[in-house]
Amino acid sequence: MTLDKADINDIPELVQLRLNYLAEDHGGLSAEETERISASLPDYYMRRLNKELFVFTARNEGRIISCCFLLVTEKPANPDFLNGLTGTVLNVYTEKPFRRQGIAGDLIKAMLEDAKEMGLDFVELKATEDGYPLYKKLGFADAVSKYHNMKYIF
């Protein structure tokens, strides 16, 4: 098992891992969703990989079997993020035969080390019920805010 960061040569595997993650997270994907997501991801990865999107991977016999994404965003500084740099963890995924072996935890630890070196003020995520205990164990805390998490859907 080796840990590293993905590069453009890994894009086909990253597309498949993202689709696998989304299918599990959403209880499946329609053919249209799979087609549209598959079509858009390669270009997205080409433009963003190792610029503001960093993908930490675990490989078994050269094949990516686990990953976690760190999306770095620069915002205008404020008292909560003086550097203006924050990170969002996305797509923490391990193939079923490799789960419960500490791989995701190792990837997140490596990601947090890099995030600290990049000068990020904090790293945030939205945890599933399954992932919540791992994130708590690794030092993530429940976010408390005077703001409401909202979105506008088109």
Helical segments of the chain, H only = 11-26, 31-48, 103-117, 132-137
Q: What is the CATH number of domain 2-137?
A: 3.40.630.30
Point out which residues pair with 59 in neighbouring strands: 2, 64
**pLDDT tens, residue by residue, 40-74:** 999 999 999 999 999 999 999 999 999 999 999 99
Residues of the chain with pLDDT under 50: none
| Residue 84 DSSP label | S
151 vs 55, 84, 135, 148, 154, CA distance in Å?
Answer: 26, 22, 24, 10, 10
Give the pLDDT score at 145. Answer: 86
Give the pLDDT score at 117. Answer: 97
Number of Cα atoms under 13 Å in the Cβ half of residue 2: 7
**Angle, vertex CA 41, rays to CA 37 and CA 51, nearest 5:** 150
